[in-house]
Amino acid sequence: MASIKNVHIDHPFTDQKPGTSGLRKSTKQFLGDHYLETFIEAILISLNNVEGSTLIVGGDGRYGNDSAIKKIIKICCAHKVGTIIVPQKGLLSTPAASDLIRTYSAIGGIILSASHNPGGRDGDFGVKLNVSNGGPAPETVTEKIYKCTQALTSYQFLDVDIPSLDSEGSFDIYRTKLKVIDGVKRYVSLMEDIFDFDQIGEYVKNDFSIIFDAMNAVTGPYAKEIFVNRLGLSDTSLLNSNPLPDFGHLHPDPNLTYAKELADLLLDQKKYSFGAACDGDGDRNMILGKGCFINPSDSLAVITANTSLVPGYKNGISGVARSMPTSMAVDVVAKELDIPCYETPTGWKFFGNLLDSGKITICGEESFGTGSNHVREKDGLWAVLFWLQILAQKKCSVIDLIRNHWMQFGRNYYTRHDYEAISSEVAYQIYEDLKSRLNELIGSHFASGVIIKADNYSYTDPIDRSISDNQGLRMILDNGSRVILRLSGTGTKGSTLRLYFEKYVKSQNDLFLDPQVALGDLIFGIDKLLNIKNRTKMDVPTVIT
């Protein structure tokens, strides 16, 4: 007979502070005694009223996913959660999880993923809580979880065998009902409500070749159902579509560095008309055309400019939002459409209040994330389908679409330079160096302009009036150019220094330059100011997008 066990631990874990995307650590750390269990215990305590509630649980399939889900089910049973909904094989993309939370009116969802970080036993693991609106837990909740972990010295679980998660079914476990569902079917149905699959399918089967790279991560099954079963493409349109615990040794981050195989097929070999990729948990996307890479900031602007072409948005959109480091390309479009454009800190949770209040319909970040009010997460496959719908309507190539967009709205040249896994001390010193000099920089010459504003970005939420300080260092020039510096918290080794460069041009003669050339004076200027190459011992950034 099943019984509830109470497990005592010698001392609380002091390093379980969630970041903007939950708690991310090495896989080996999560495999350590009691580490995962105590964090889940803290989540359930912090949620309140979990008894009798509905909870969604799933993950991106990385190493440890299945065993972690079964441990979580046992802990939830001990807390008398009413219903636990798990997708088959425990595979659940982050946007699909957001949809399930909203569909089943769940109290929240526990998503097992380290997003775009590498997987495997020597890789990373993560746990993220999404709340009842489907979006990431706000800081008030994550702080409550962290405070709980600092004092937690025990957790409880139901000592019972958990049935296989491979097939659909419903199981009664103590006072909890476990439902294993087809999570892919529900998500694809949502996409069919938004997009015209018949029109897209007809277009992509007529001299328009596609390749989609799932990076051996969670979107593989979703992509097969959409592209092969619904749109009628062959299996050869899918690359790395089998979810693997170590992602087949790939780094599941859809950018030009880590999705090199895909990039080579489109940019060098020019073998396909359209290419796309999604990351480990399916919320990020990269869009490519034949010989053409679409910057994520431009992608957000193009999507916003063409919402009227997509059935799900035919009645118009209320507004748009972007994260502060994202280029202002979407601002130009919003002004033309006469709709509001909001600027928020980095982190999808900051879009939640704007979406829930109806102030925005579309939102996005420069870090390969775009989404809308259909869920409360960024959604990689949604963005890919959005691009295909636009192309099917306009019957043009990717490069023609983006060039026509620049000719109409002007171009925000933009690039991000990531210095990954550098010494945390060095990263902090560079950051603090600029931070300490912000006031004295105002009025000084920099690159091809004069700095008119230099600050540490602070955000006041227009809905709940909450304030988020220290969101990134900005230098804004009199010609509208921007340089931004941030420290990233999504890695697990050392620190990542992120630099963002932006310059707007309207002249038709200046629209088609290499971004690294167009932004060269800003790139040179910040290195000269902060001595980045010497301090990091890196001649070039790890990743350039």
Token couple for 370: 């775009």
Nearest residue to 481 (alpha-carbon basis) of 503, 450, 454, 513: 503
- Other beta carbons within 10 angstroms of residue 451's beta carbon come to 21
DSSP for 272-318 reads -SEEEEE-TTS-BEEEEETTEEE-HHHHHHHHHHTGGGSGGGTT--S
Residue 278: strand pairing partners: 285
Phi first, then psi, for residue 266 (nearest 5°) are -95, -45
The Cα 38–Cα 75 span in angstroms is 10
Is the Cβ–Cβ distance between 284 and 115 less than 8 Å?
Answer: yes
Beta strand segments in 30-174, E: 54-59, 83-87, 108-112, 124-131, 154-159, 169-173
Q: Return the beta strands (E) in 66-168 as ranges.
A: 83-87, 108-112, 124-131, 154-159
Under DSSP, is residue 21 helix (H, G, I), strand (E, B) or coil?
Answer: coil
Q: CA angle at residue 323 from 322 to 328, to 5 degrees? A: 60
Q: Which of 225, 254, 255 has the alpha carbon at shortest distance from 238?
A: 225
Whether 115 is a known active-site residue: answer yes
Bridge-based pairing state of the strands 54-59 and 83-87: parallel
Alpha carbon 525 to its chain centroid, in Å, reads 30
Dihedral angle, C-alpha 74, 77, 83, 86, nearest 10 °: 0
Residue with tokens 């399916």: 282
Neighbouring C-beta atoms of residue 508, cutoff 10 Å: 10
User: Of these residues, 46, 115, 299, 481, which one is catalytic?
Assistant: 115
CA separation for the pair 406, 44 (Å, rounded): 49
Give catalytic residue positions.
115
